[in-house]
Chains A and B, each alone.
Chain A
Amino acid sequence: MIQIEHVSKTFAGGSGDVHALRDVSIRVEKGEIYGIVGFSGAGKSTLLRLVNGLERPDEGSVTVNGQKLAALNKAQLRLLRRKIGMVFQQFNLLEGKTVFANVAIPLKLAGVSREETERRVAEVLRFVELEDKRTAYVSQLSGGQKQRVGIARALATNPEILLCDEATSALDPQTTESILRLLQRVNREMGVTILLITHQMQVIQMICSKVAVMEQGRVVEEGAVLDVFGRPKAEVTRRFVRTVINDRIPEKFVTVVRSETRYQQVELLKFIGDAVQEPLIAQLCRTPGLEVNILGANIQEMQGSVMSVFILQLIGEEALVAAAEERIDAAGALRERLVMDE
């Protein structure tokens, strides 16, 4: 659906050039919700804008729906843009106009008849659950309602792709969740492919199937969300994962672990899916000569699946600990030794 291949983009800045994108390639398949996560300035905003031609790459190619963007003239690009909806962090609505007028704008631009516009606006407003706000002015709405109008506007022309630019970053956690649920419905019920950028890992966790992590203009990690959350490789990814899955040991426990004189290992365990963890830990606890302390535990729901994280302190003879590790691996858990240096 969307292919971005070896794209680079440099902006001339006051204090030297800014490399917004360096040899970036991503591929978004039809029907996916693809998330790009990164701290501000990582280049994700520029990457998103390549897809509808708001930014042009210096190098590399962007292909949307089989069309190479570089080969399109202005009129063709405008036609393509009508098939790509866009939602913004600051909503970018006409504040002085009614909800209806805002949602109708893309249809008017496309020259759709008045009856058809009425019908379609009513349809999308019903979808975003704002049919009762039709005649309200945008300035009278809450942030969450404004974003619903933004989504309705983006959907008005029946797009195949929806680009979300930090769509939930200006909203409170509860509203964020309801907007994410709405985006999920857009994806499932309308079959719209969604490409979103965010700096909130919760957003990725809640609705994305694939994720790319960006840092300093590069994609440092990419893959299925469960894999990336399970085995984050890059340091920046670990930092992001840590924002939703706490795998740190409380400071108090650290001193306890360090003061332990017997042989020990501290293990980070991640179970994905409905693998039954409790019997495993119960079994470990019942091993004679092995002491098991749970230093941390955390359960997260994502992608309709469950990820459980345990931090265990295993104390005992070296062979016993090694056997316990084997058992953990055999149970299908992702295991990682945590090094407790002074």
Chain B
Amino acid sequence: MNPASGNAQAAAFDFPVWFKQTFDIKFEKLLSSLGDTVYMLGWGLIIGAVIGFILALLLVFCRKGGLWQNRVVYAVVNVYVNIVRSMPFIITLVFVFPLTRLIVGKTYGSTAMLVPLVIFISPYLARLMENSLLEVSPGIIEAAQAMGATTWQIITRFMLPEALSSIVLALTTGTVGLLGATAMAGYAGGGGVGDLALTYGYQRYNLPLLILTIVILVLFVQLLQLLGNKISARLRAHR
């Protein structure tokens, strides 16, 4: 099977067969694992970003001198964010099993894993987006108020456009963190590339597969970061 020999059999290169021989899993398995990872990453990011944004707004508006200055709400959100962020994901994952069962009905599969993933990532994204929102100059918000803008208009027409480029970078950082968490979630029954690496690669001493998954994850992170930087730079182009 030496491709350099140039005979007819080598010309009819069979990729699935080659893949199975080299990595000891079917190519479809890799694709479905990738699908699972993207599924968990995508939905986890979307739901986590929405919840995170709400938490970030509460942190920004309820803080001292903020628009809704409210010591109690700020303290509650602040402590919640700190507590969740200080818990390792694997602990959060097990800890919220009852909640996961309540919401999804089961504690395995990629959909079920979204519950701990969102709980894990939203405070992290909240902290990052809080910083982005705090970068918006108080003068802009004052100008908005002076124009008679409602709170909703202040958020959508002034703060979001001003902070968007910074928020995109924050989300990029958050996504990379979330990718790490999906590997653990996968191991606990969610599937995905991380699960592939651990159960098929590590436990079966399948070194080529382990390396392949690492390459895929590295490329994935590079791609995400590149995309995030590009979008952010585009948004910042005229600043």
Q: From A138, which residue of chain B is reached at the shortest CB distance?
A: B238
Q: Does A158 contact B (CB under 8 A)?
A: no
B238 touches A108 (CB 8 A): no
B137 touches A92 (CB 8 A): yes
Known: A86-B143, A88-B139, A88-B143. A94 touches B148 (CB 8 A): no
A109 touches B148 (CB 8 A): yes
- Cα A3 to Cα B200 with chains together (Å): 79
Query: When the two chains form the complex, which single residue of B149, B235, B237, B239 contacts A109, counting CB atoms closer than 8 Å?
Result: B149
Q: From A91, which residue of chain B is reached at the shortest CB distance?
A: B139
B157 touches A96 (CB 8 A): no
B238 touches A96 (CB 8 A): yes
B162 touches A96 (CB 8 A): yes
What's the minimum C-beta distance from B54 to chain A, rounded to whole angstroms? 22
Contacts of A137 in B (CB 8 A): 238
Known: A97-B161, A109-B153. A78 touches B140 (CB 8 A): no
What's the minimum C-beta distance from A194 to chain B, rounded to whole angstroms? 15
B137 touches A90 (CB 8 A): yes
What's the minimum C-beta distance from A324 to chain B, rounded to whole angstroms? 55
What's the minimum C-beta distance from B126 to chain A, rounded to whole angstroms? 24
B149 touches A92 (CB 8 A): no
Q: From B162, which residue of chain A is reached at the shortest CB distance?
A: A94
- Cα A54 to Cα B149 with chains together (Å): 12
Per-residue interface assignment for chain A, residues 87 to 117, with 1 indicating a CB less than 8 Å from any chain B CB and 0 otherwise = 0101011111100000001101110000000
Q: Does A139 contact B (CB under 8 A)?
A: yes
Per-residue interface assignment for chain B, residues 142 to 180, with 1 indicating a CB less than 8 Å from any chain A CB and 0 otherwise = 110111111001000110011001000000000000000
Q: From A98, which residue of chain B is reached at the shortest CB distance?
A: B238
Q: Does B236 contact A (CB under 8 A)?
A: yes
Known: A54-B146, A97-B161. A92 touches B139 (CB 8 A): yes
- Cα A87 to Cα B76 with chains together (Å): 37
| B interface residues, tally (CB under 8 Å) | 22
Q: Does A81 contact B (CB under 8 A)?
A: yes
- Cα A77 to Cα B147 with chains together (Å): 10
Known: A78-B148, A139-B239. A94 touches B142 (CB 8 A): no
B148 touches A139 (CB 8 A): no
Q: Does A323 contact B (CB under 8 A)?
A: no
B147 touches A81 (CB 8 A): yes
A96 touches B161 (CB 8 A): yes
What's the minimum C-beta distance from B154 to chain A, rounded to whole angstroms? 10
Q: Does A120 contact B (CB under 8 A)?
A: no
A96 touches B236 (CB 8 A): yes
Q: Does A79 contact B (CB under 8 A)?
A: yes
Q: From A102, which residue of chain B is reached at the shortest CB distance?
A: B143
Q: Does A226 contact B (CB under 8 A)?
A: no
A81 touches B146 (CB 8 A): yes
A108 touches B239 (CB 8 A): no
Query: When the two chains form the complex, which single residue of A79, A92, A108 contacts B142, counting CB atoms closer than 8 Å?
Result: A92
Q: Does A313 contact B (CB under 8 A)?
A: no
Q: From B238, which residue of chain A is reached at the shortest CB distance?
A: A137
- Cα A263 to Cα B230 with chains together (Å): 82
A86 touches B146 (CB 8 A): yes
A106 touches B147 (CB 8 A): yes
Contacts of A88 in B (CB 8 A): 139, 142-143
Query: When the two chains form the complex, which single residue of A90, A92, A110, A140 contacts B148, counting CB atoms closer than 8 Å?
Result: A110
Contacts of A140 in B (CB 8 A): 238
Per-residue interface assignment for chain A, residues 42 to 84, with 1 indicating a CB less than 8 Å from any chain B CB and 0 otherwise = 0000000000101000000000000000000000011111101
B148 touches A81 (CB 8 A): yes
Contacts of B143 in A (CB 8 A): 86, 88, 92-93
Q: From B149, which residue of chain A is reached at the shortest CB distance?
A: A109
What's the minimum C-beta distance from A156 to chain B, rounded to whole angstroms? 9
Contacts of B150 in A (CB 8 A): 78
A94 touches B149 (CB 8 A): no
Query: When the two chains form the complex, which single residue of A77, A92, A105 contacts B157, counting CB atoms closer than 8 Å?
Result: A105
B158 touches A54 (CB 8 A): no
Q: Which chain B residues in 87-112 approach chain A with CB under 8 Å?
A: none
Q: From B139, which residue of chain A is reached at the shortest CB distance?
A: A92
- Cα A270 to Cα B77 with chains together (Å): 65
Contacts of A78 in B (CB 8 A): 148-150
B146 touches A84 (CB 8 A): yes
What's the minimum C-beta distance from B50 to chain A, rounded to whole angstroms? 24
Instruction: Report which residue of B149, B150, B165 has the largest number of chain A beta carbons within 10 angstroms of its beta carbon.
Output: B149
Q: From B151, which residue of chain A is reached at the shortest CB distance?
A: A74
A108 touches B140 (CB 8 A): no
Q: List 17 A-B contacts (CB under 8 A).
A: A54-B142, A78-B149, A80-B148, A81-B145, A88-B139, A92-B137, A92-B140, A94-B161, A96-B235, A96-B239, A105-B157, A106-B147, A108-B157, A109-B147, A109-B149, A139-B238, A157-B147
Chain B interface residues toward A at CB < 8 A: 137, 139-140, 142-143, 145-150, 153, 157-158, 161-162, 165, 235-239
> 8 additional contacts, CB 8 Å, given A54-B146, A77-B148, A110-B148?
A54-B145, A86-B147, A92-B137, A94-B140, A96-B238, A105-B147, A106-B147, A108-B157
Nearest first, the 10 closest Cβ-Cβ pairs linking A and B are: A81-B148, A137-B238, A78-B148, A92-B143, A92-B139, A86-B146, A82-B148, A106-B147, A96-B239, A96-B238
Chain A interface residues toward B at CB < 8 A: 52, 54, 77-82, 84, 86, 88, 90, 92-97, 105-106, 108-110, 137-140, 157, 163
